[in-house]
Structure formats: C-alpha cells, structure tokens
Amino acid sequence: MNTIILTILFAISLTPLALCVFNVVKKQKTKKMMLLLNVIAIGMIIVASLTTAMAASAPETAKAAVASSISVGAGMGMLAAALSTGIACIGAGIAVAASASAAIGAMSENPAIFGKAMIFVALGEGVALYGLLISFQILSLLS
C-alpha cells in the first residue's frame, strides 16, 4: 500500500515538470506555478517516504530502541553528508551558470580577459568542492 501511494505521489510530482519541459504551458507565470507545485509534490514524497521508513522500523522493546538510536545517529550523519554535498553543488551550479555566461559575453567583447573570467568561474566551482570536503569530514566521523 505504501509503495502505491509513493508511486502516485511521484507521478503527480513529475506531471508539472513534464508540462513545463515539453512547452505545453506557454505562459511564464504558469510555468513558475507548475514548478512550485513540483517542488511541493517532491516534498510530499520525501515526507511520505520518511514516515513510512520510520513506521516500518519502530522498535518494540527498550533494547531495540537503544540499538536503533545508534543507527539513527549514523543515518542522520549520512543525511547531513548528502545534504552538504547536494546543496553545495546546487549553489555552485547557479554560480557557474551566472559567471560562465557573463564570462563568455565579456570575452566576446575583449578576448584578453580570458584569465580573469575563468578565475570567477573557478571560484563558483570551489563551492561544490567545499561541500564535498565537508561531507568527507562528516563521513570520517561516522566510521
């Protein structure tokens, strides 16, 4: 039953994204609204899958509760490592997208500023490397 609910939520979450990607919706305001609905639906999938996982692993005894608290801490550490890498990479992607397009535009005007432009692109990419470094540090604490 839980897999059916998660499958339905996943299909609902992909519908607005598919409509925006295939240009079925032409208005920009409507596209933004559909992408917002996509983010909300993905959030619902995350909440539903977390509650399903927590309900399935509910301990019956006090001994099982102590044993599961150790694994919950390790799981939260792995979640923190994944989030630090993922969010840092999303931020780096936004930074590189903005700086690289500006660098290409500036180099079309003056090709001599190639080195300066690439420094700004590399600084944006450094954010992803810092997130990866933090996730390695978190994972080294777990083992």
Read off the pTM: 0.52
∠ CA 30-35-38 to the nearest 5 degrees? 130
Return the C-alpha torsion angle 108, 113, 117, 122, nearest 10.
Answer: 130
pLDDT tens, position by position, 64-108: 555 555 677 787 888 888 889 989 999 898 988 888 888 989 889
The domain ranges of the chain are 1-58, 61-143
Over the Cα atoms of the chain, what is R_g?
A: 22
Between 3.40.30.10, 3.40.50.720, 3.40.50.170, 1.20.20.10, what CATH number should domain 61-143 receive? 1.20.20.10
Helices of type H across the chain: 2-21, 28-56, 62-109, 114-142
Distances (CA, A) of 74 to 64, 69, 142: 16, 9, 6
